């Protein structure tokens, strides 16, 4: 923190020559004393001005602070200026604190708690001197400077020792202290202090600088390498508080370690072992031996007593043993202590790996140089070319080449280089520094800097520079040509004589990189906006539709209720009730139709945005089909439609039990086909629908009739069953047929029935309705599951739609339902279950609450998650219905908190939770399950099925039974669990 204070003081006390001096002390009339701006009472207000702040936990903490006993007084007495800036700090995403005059009272946002560290929550409402007395001497001049000048004081990359994990941690912040109001003639009302943490950048810059210094080797002699490595390590005492460097020498078949340098360890310390065999038990040699050729981390122990730790002058928690090696050849060991004020996380481990690799690469280069030097004469003889052949090669190369003197004069260049720099050979200038004139003025300092590095002895440099020659990109305005320049020194007898360089035109590559980067940014943003749009549409359409369904269901039961309560109903009343029930049935049909259109539109949006995924789940296909058909029982009975379900013998032959497939996507295709079949058989005599399903291990098309018209395949070429989550077991194709005796289609209508927004006949929409999306979406979904969909039909003789999907066997069959082992011990569910309905929508509260009470449930309403938590503390409930989108505390946060309190014994168990949501994306459903929900029910849903699901869930929890993980494995939840 002291270093951060020093940085802030330096910035705060700098004098700006343009700032006006303080006002001269001329006599002025003495003003009438007025209350302090921060304490002056605003106009009469009775409302709580903090109520419209975003109610985060930190805002709750701010509002609950005893401000009446603070120097600022009660919240209702605060001035408009103070209120304004309080709103501002809570809206600021950065760490921000308000220091209000005259006592510098602290008001800060949630992000500032990391800086406040252990002084939070005590700092809220306290003065700077009360919160940080040890820092006052450093910060007082900064505040005073701001009072006098009315200007902000900035601090950049200031180190602050924060205490987040119970120990002081090195952190860096940048920010400023801005006076609110004030100036040379008027004192400010307070100060706005905003901070942004840049710890990662500062640590990376410091460590990178050290590694860059280590990489800049001027002398590759082995003795000089060890000295160079230790010199580079000495520049960073914070990350290298202690270090030792050993050279491994191979002598007489054994390895001897020679100490080549040490940092932070006093002479004659017991760790400074030199010239001993790798088998020695002394010092850290045993740890080097155990590390082998990989980095090893050891804990600090008594051997490191009396070490003079550098940097923070604190002992490291871990010591890194880094072999300096290439392949299996070990050149030595670098031993270093880790930063004691930073966690040993992935960033620290990566730094240690980089340090070890850097030392190894330098040592490898040095050893390679020695080995190469012995062969130098032979290589020179083998690789020598005549001057004529070499010049011929250079002149015709597709790379620009140039030879430049140490004074910057171009001595020679090939034609390709002149073309790249837009200069004719005849115009070649010999003036001093002419080499740099070819580059863009903004890049010349960079070129001269690289030149200076070569002049100082660096072997080569690689850089990207722009020239004065303009290049025309495929799109956009002309821009300077980009060159990739590889420059290297030319030496004679070890003395630098000149510089040579190779240049390549990379203008098109640089433009393509920028273009692709922009495309990627736009694609990510478009995908994010599309997801947000789908979420909003789903939520806003499903919520009111749910209320419509529930109201209609309530109306349909009113006739039976009246008959059960009244011995005789007057005929006029009976007629009206019957008419209302009929109207409610129509509402239900319209609502179901609307729901299917919503599902189709949202599915189409996900398909277009490539947001729809296939998620494999262990599923029992036979049960899945039964559940889907059960969803249509009421509609089939009301329309007197006979439905026959047939299982093919292939199921028994192949012993099909549990398969990996996506039951929700199969259900969606089935619903579309059954909905169409029901729609087209209602108007024919003796309506009949037949469903057949089977399985095959290969050639699924052969299981269908040869006259089947198959929809043209789209672009779904990837085989999803090859993904790891599908397993590696045998592939099984599931086949499905839905036949009806409806109106049928002719050949022309069949050709376009699977097209987008197309129906078989223009009269179809007029007579039967529909959006023309169902079969198109079914086609897309089957193809995404590795299958196809087709149809065979004849005008007036009905239609048969068939499809197949690809799946895999479950390698280990899921445990059978435990219901069978408990049939005799089944405990009946209490008739009056106590239900906590957590819902912020008043209409949904009333409608669903009424239906729950009619079904015999005892209902308690909570408007949001926080009210639900309070209710659970007061009363005991059998089950919770938890909405997702709510103010104050959303459903996911409330569910997590309930499960946490259960783990800590604060709430009783079991407590089933059903998440009720209008958000249907798979990741949203998975997040709800991960938060602790037992099941997820999507809006709209039918209340009777929900009630059955609730009773079943309570019973299973009471008997400690596991719930099925997929829709296909539950007989009572088809169409509800997403």
What pLDDT, in 10s, does the model give residues 594-619?
A: 676 666 666 666 565 555 677 788 89
What pLDDT, in 10s, does the model give residues 867-918?
A: 999 999 999 999 999 998 888 999 999 999 999 999 998 998 889 999 988 7
The yes-or-no verdict on residue 390 having pLDDT over 80 is no
pLDDT band at 942 (very low <50, low <70, confident <90, very high): confident
Do 353 and 418 fall into the same domain? no
Whether the CB-CB separation of 136 and 278 falls below 8 Å is answered with: no
pLDDT band at 931 (very low <50, low <70, confident <90, very high): very high
Do 366 and 441 fall into the same domain? no
| CB within 8 Å of 550: residues ≥ 6 apart | 844, 847, 848, 851, 940, 943
Between 172 and 396, where is the model more confident?
172
Number of CB atoms found within 10 A of residue 162's CB = 21
Grouping H, G, I as helix, E, B as strand and the rest as coil, residue 572 is helix
The yes-or-no verdict on residue 145 having pLDDT over 90 is no
User: What's the domain range around 856?
Assistant: 825-961
Grouping H, G, I as helix, E, B as strand and the rest as coil, residue 268 is coil
Concatenated DSSP letters of 123-162: TTTSBHHHH-GGGHHHHHHHHHHHHHH---EEEEEEEEEE
The yes-or-no verdict on residue 357 having pLDDT over 80 is yes
Q: What is the CATH number of the domain that holds 462?
A: 3.30.450.20
- Determine the distance from the C-alpha atom of residue 830 to the mean position of all C-alpha atoms in its chain, rounded to a whole number: 44
814: in domain = no
Among 838, 830, 857, 849, smallest CA distance to 554 is for 849
pLDDT for 439? 81
Whether the CB-CB separation of 499 and 406 falls below 8 Å is answered with: yes
Whether the CB-CB separation of 293 and 325 falls below 8 Å is answered with: yes
Which range has highest mean pLDDT (45-54, 169-178, 589-598)?
169-178
User: Which helix (DSSP H) or strand (DSSP E) does residue 259 occupy?
Assistant: strand 254-263
Number of CB atoms found within 10 A of residue 121's CB = 14
Between 382 and 929, where is the model more confident?
929
C-alpha 40/C-alpha 46 separation (Å) is 16
Do 463 and 415 fall into the same domain? yes
Do 146 and 288 fall into the same domain? no
208: in domain = no
Do 242 and 314 fall into the same domain? yes
Among 372, 374, 375, 364, smallest CA distance to 222 is for 364
Do 668 and 695 fall into the same domain? yes
Do 243 and 345 fall into the same domain? yes
Grouping H, G, I as helix, E, B as strand and the rest as coil, residue 466 is strand
Which range has highest mean pLDDT (199-208, 559-568, 588-597, 711-720)?
199-208
Largest CA distance in the chain: 121
Q: Looking at 655-669, 930-944, 964-978, which range is the least confident one?
A: 964-978
Q: What is the CATH number of the domain that holds 647?
A: 3.30.565.10
C-alpha 906/C-alpha 232 separation (Å) is 56
Do 730 and 863 fall into the same domain? no
Do 473 and 325 fall into the same domain? no
297: in domain = yes
Grouping H, G, I as helix, E, B as strand and the rest as coil, residue 608 is helix
C-alpha 207/C-alpha 562 separation (Å) is 81
635: in domain = yes
Do 358 and 497 fall into the same domain? no
The domain boundary, picked from 374, 396, 424, lies at: 374
- Across the chain, mean pLDDT equals 80
Parallel/antiparallel/unpaired status of strands 95-100 and 190-197: antiparallel
Do 146 and 47 fall into the same domain? yes
C-alpha 346/C-alpha 210 separation (Å) is 19
Whether the CB-CB separation of 295 and 321 falls below 8 Å is answered with: yes
pLDDT band at 695 (very low <50, low <70, confident <90, very high): very high
**Residue pointed to by tokens 């029930």:** 581
The domain boundary, picked from 324, 350, 374, lies at: 374
Grouping H, G, I as helix, E, B as strand and the rest as coil, residue 847 is helix
The burial class, CB within 10 Å (0-12 / 13-18 / 19+), for 409 is middle
203: in domain = no
The yes-or-no verdict on residue 245 having pLDDT over 90 is yes
Between 113 and 533, where is the model more confident?
113
What pLDDT, in 10s, does the model give residues 437-476?
A: 778 888 888 888 888 888 888 888 888 888 888 888 888 7
Structural domains in the chain (count): 6
pTM of the predicted model, to two decimals? 0.39
What pLDDT, in 10s, does the model give residues 469-512?
A: 888 888 878 888 888 888 888 888 888 888 888 888 888 888 88
Whether the CB-CB separation of 557 and 856 falls below 8 Å is answered with: no
The domain boundary, picked from 505, 524, 549, lies at: 505
Q: What is the CATH number of the domain that holds 341?
A: 3.30.450.40
C-alpha 27/C-alpha 338 separation (Å) is 63
Do 524 and 491 fall into the same domain? no
Which residues, in sequence order, are bridge partners of residue 604? none
The yes-or-no verdict on residue 258 having pLDDT over 90 is yes
Q: Looking at 505-509, 561-565, 748-752, 779-783, which range is the least confident one?
A: 561-565
What pLDDT, in 10s, does the model give residues 160-209?
A: 777 777 788 888 888 888 999 765 667 899 999 988 888 899 999 999 99
663: in domain = yes
C-alpha 92/C-alpha 154 separation (Å) is 18
The burial class, CB within 10 Å (0-12 / 13-18 / 19+), for 530 is middle
**Residue pointed to by tokens 């950048």:** 201
pLDDT band at 830 (very low <50, low <70, confident <90, very high): low
**Residue pointed to by tokens 């580059």:** 439
Averaged pLDDT, 237-256: 91
817: in domain = no
What pLDDT, in 10s, does the model give residues 327-340?
A: 888 999 999 999 99
- Tell me the angle at which helices 663-681 and 774-784 cross, rounded to the nearest 10 degrees: 150
pLDDT for 14? 36
Among 737, 736, 758, smallest CA distance to 748 is for 758
576: in domain = yes
Which tokens belong to 791?
């149809």
Cis check for the bond before 360: say yes or no (omega within 30 of 0).
no
């Amino acid at each position: 923190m002291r270093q951060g204070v020093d940085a802030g003081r330096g910035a705060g006390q700098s004098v700006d020559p343009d700032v006006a001096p303080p006002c001269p002390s001329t006599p002025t009339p003495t003003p009438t004393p007025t209350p302090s701006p921060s304490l002056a009472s605003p106009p009469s207000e009775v409302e709580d001005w903090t109520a419209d702040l975003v109610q985060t936990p930190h805002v709750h903490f701010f509002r609950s602070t005893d401000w009446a006993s603070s120097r600022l007084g009660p919240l209702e007495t605060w001035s408009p200026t103070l209120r304004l800036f309080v709103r501002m700090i809570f809206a600021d995403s950065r760490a921000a604190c308000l220091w209000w005059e005259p006592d510098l009272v602290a008001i800060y946002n949630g992000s500032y708690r990391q800086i406040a560290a252990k002084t939070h929550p005590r700092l809220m409402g306290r003065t700077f001197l009360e919160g940080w007395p040890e820092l006052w001497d450093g910060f007082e001049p900064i505040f005073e400077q701001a009072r006098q000048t009315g200007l902000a004081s900035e601090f950049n990359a200031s180190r602050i020792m924060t205490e987040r994990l119970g120990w002081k941690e090195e952190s860096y912040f940048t920010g400023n202290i801005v006076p609110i109001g004030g100036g040379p003639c008027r004192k400010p009302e307070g100060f706005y202090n905003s901070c942004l943490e840049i710890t990662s950048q500062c640590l990376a810059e410091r460590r990178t600088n050290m590694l860059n210094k280590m990489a800049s080797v001027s002398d590759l002699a082995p003795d000089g390498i060890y000295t160079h490595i230790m010199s580079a390590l000495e520049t960073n005492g914070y990350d290298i508080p202690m270090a030792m460097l050993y050279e491994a020498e191979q002598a007489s078949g054994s390895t001897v370690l020679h100490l080549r340098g040490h940092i932070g360890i006093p002479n004659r310390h017991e760790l400074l072992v030199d010239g001993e065999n790798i088998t020695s038990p002394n010092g850290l040699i045993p740890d080097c031996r155990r590390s082998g050729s990989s980095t090893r981390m050891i804990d600090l122990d008594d051997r490191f007593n009396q070490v003079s730790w550098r940097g923070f002058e604190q002992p490291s928690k871990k010591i890194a043993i880094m072999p300096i090696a290439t392949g299996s050849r070990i050149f030595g060991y670098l031993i270093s202590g880790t930063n004691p004020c930073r966690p040993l996380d992935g960033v620290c481990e990566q730094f240690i790996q980089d340090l070890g690799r850097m030392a190894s690469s330098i040592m490898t280069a040095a050893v390679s140089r020695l080995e190469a030097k012995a062969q130098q004469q032979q290589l020179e003889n083998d690789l020598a070319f005549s001057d004529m052949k070499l010049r011929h090669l250079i002149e015709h190369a597709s790379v620009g080449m140039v030879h430049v003197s140490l004074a910057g004069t171009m001595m020679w260049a090939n034609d390709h280089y002149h073309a790249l720099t837009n200069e004719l050979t005849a115009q070649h200038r010999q003036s001093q520094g002419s080499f740099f004139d070819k580059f863009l003025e903004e890049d010349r300092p960079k070129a001269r800097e690289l030149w200076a590095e070569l002049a100082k002895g660096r072997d080569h440099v690689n850089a990207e520079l722009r020239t004065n020659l303009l290049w025309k990109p495929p799109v956009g305005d002309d821009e300077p040509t980009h060159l990739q320049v590889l420059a290297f020194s030319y030496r004679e007898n070890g003395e630098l004589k000149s510089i040579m360089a190779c240049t390549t035109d990379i203008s098109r590559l640089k433009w393509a990189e920028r273009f692709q980067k922009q495309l990627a940014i736009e694609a990510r943003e478009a995908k994010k906006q599309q997801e947000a749009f789908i979420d909003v549409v789903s939520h806003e359409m499903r919520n009111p539709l749910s209320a419509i369904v529930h109201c209609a269901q309530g109306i349909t039961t009113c006739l039976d209720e009246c008959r059960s309560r009244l011995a005789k109903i007057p005929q006029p009343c009976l007629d009206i009730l019957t008419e209302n029930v009929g109207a409610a049935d129509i509402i239900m049909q319209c609502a179901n139709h609307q729901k299917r259109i919503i599902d189709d539109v949202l599915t189409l949006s996900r398909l277009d945005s490539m947001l729809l995924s296939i998620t494999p789940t262990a599923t029992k296909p036979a049960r899945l089909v039964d559940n889907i058909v059960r969803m249509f029982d009421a509609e089939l009975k009301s329309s007197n439609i006979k439905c026959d379900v047939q299982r093919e013998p292939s199921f028994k032959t192949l012993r099909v039990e549990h398969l990996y497939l996506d039951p929700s996507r199969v259900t969606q295709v089935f619903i579309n086909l059954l909905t169409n079949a029901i729609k087209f058989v209602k108007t024919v005599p003796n309506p009949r629908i037949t469903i057949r399903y089977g399985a095959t291990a290969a050639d699924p098309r052969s299981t269908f009739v040869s006259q089947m018209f198959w929809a043209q395949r789209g672009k779904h070429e990837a085989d999803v069953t090859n993904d790891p989550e599908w397993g590696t077991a045998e592939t099984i194709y599931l086949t499905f047929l839905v036949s009806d005796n409806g109106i049928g289609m002719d050949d022309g209508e069949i050709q376009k029935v699977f097209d987008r927004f197309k129906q078989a006949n223009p009269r179809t929409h007029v007579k039967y309705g529909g959006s023309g999306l169902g079969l198109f979406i079914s086609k897309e979904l089957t193809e995404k599951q590795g299958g196809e969909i087709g149809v065979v039909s004849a005008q007036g003789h009905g239609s048969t739609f068939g499809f197949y999907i690809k799946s895999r066997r479950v390698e280990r069959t899921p445990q059978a339902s435990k219901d069978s082992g408990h049939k005799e011990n089944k405990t009946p569910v209490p008739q009056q279950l106590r239900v906590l309905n957590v819902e912020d929508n008043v209409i949904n509260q009333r409608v669903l609450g009424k239906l729950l009470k009619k079904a015999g449930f005892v209902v308690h309403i909570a408007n949001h998650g926080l009210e639900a938590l309070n209710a659970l503390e007061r009363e005991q409930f059998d089950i919770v219905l938890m909405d997702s989108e709510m103010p104050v505390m959303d459903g996911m946060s409330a569910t997590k908190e309930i499960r946490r309190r259960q783990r800590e014994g604060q709430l009783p168990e079991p407590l089933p939770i059903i998440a009720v949501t209008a958000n249907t994306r798979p990741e949203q459903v998975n997040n709800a399950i991960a938060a602790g929900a037992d099941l997820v029910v999507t809006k709209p849903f039918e209340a009777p099925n929900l009630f059955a699901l609730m009773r079943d869930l309570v019973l299973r929890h009471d008997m400690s039974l596991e719930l099925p993980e997929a829709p296909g494995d539950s007989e009572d939840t088809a169409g509800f669990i997403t």
